[in-house]
Structure 1
Amino acid sequence: MDTDKAIEIVNLLANGVDPETGEVFPNNSPYQHPEVIRSLFLAIKALEKMDKSEKRQKRLPRNAGKSWTEEEEYLLVKAFDEGKSINELSEVHKRTKGSIRSRLIKLEKIEEFKI
């Protein structure tokens, strides 16, 4: 089940609606108790946060968050010294621009910019 579908189902439950039939739960249903409803709304927030995180992960480059190898650092420095831009290096290494900048700072190829 995908996260969007789970959010939809839990949202219906939190609003006192049977997700299968669309009928409103009776007053004596556990889904009508205040603590259960609050818990379901907390679950919705958690699912939405998880969904947002999953979608962000899908947009990140393939190597985002992975450790740098010595060979990759060597290739990064070589390409940077040859005049490649941060954007180009980001594409080649499949990493974020921030990761490229951070690695170049660590390798003392550029200085950290402080605001």
Structure 2
Amino acid sequence: MAALEIIESLAKGIDPRTGEILSEHGPFNDPTVIRALFEALDALRTAASTCEENVGVKPKAPNAGRAWPPEEDARLLTDFDAGVTPQELARKHGRTTGAIRSRLVKHGRIER
């Protein structure tokens, strides 16, 4: 049984293990506890749907945030001077196109 199903059963006053109605004297029949369980259930459902929506989100560039070693800078400039596009440079160096453009600005190859 998944966490969502367990919480939903408890919020409805049902023992998730047996399917029996919970004791009216137990903590799960307290209105505050019931409201908290329904809020937790809503939060879990929202989080689950958000995760499903983000499945198609592009992963972070592998070298994003890392320092630029001098030899990588040299390869970047050589490739740019040879006509390689910023998009292709980003793929090749594992960086974002914004990082590539910033580096090219720093080295005077392009203007902001």
For 2:2, give the aligned amino acid. Answer: I
Cα distance in 2 between the residues matched to 1:104 and 1:25 = 68
Q: CA separation of 1:85/1:36 partners in 2, compared to 1, >3 Å: closer, same or farther?
A: same
| Gap regions ≥5 residues in structure 1 | 1-7
Cα distance in 1 between the residues matched to 2:57 and 2:67 = 19
Q: CA separation of 1:71/1:54 partners in 2, compared to 1, >3 Å: closer, same or farther?
A: farther
For 1:38, give the aligned amino acid. Answer: E
Moved more, 80-89 or 65-74: 65-74
Deviation at 1:89, TM superposition (A): 0.9
| Gap regions ≥5 residues in structure 2 | none
Q: Which residue of 2 aligns with 1:5?
A: none
For 1:11, give the aligned amino acid. Answer: L
Alignment check: 8 A CA contact 1:61 1:94 kept: yes
Q: Which residue of 1 aligns with 2:106?
A: 106
> Please, what is the CA RMSD of the aligned residues?
3.9
Q: CA separation of 1:44/1:23 partners in 2, compared to 1, >3 Å: closer, same or farther?
A: same
Alignment check: 8 A CA contact 1:10 1:40 kept: no
Q: CA separation of 1:90/1:25 partners in 2, compared to 1, >3 Å: closer, same or farther?
A: farther
Deviation at 1:68, TM superposition (A): 1.8
Secondary structure, aligned partner of 2:71: helix
1:19-67: CA deviation from partner (whole Å, max 9, x where unpaired): x76958747537x61113313433554566677778747x334323322
Q: Percent of aligned positions with the same letter in both sequences?
A: 25
> Paired residues, what number?
102
Alignment check: 8 A CA contact 2:4 2:44 kept: no
Deviation at 1:91, TM superposition (A): 2.3
Secondary structure, aligned partner of 1:84: coil
Secondary structure, aligned partner of 1:67: coil
TM-score (norm 1): 0.56
Cα distance in 2 between the residues matched to 1:90 and 1:37 = 46
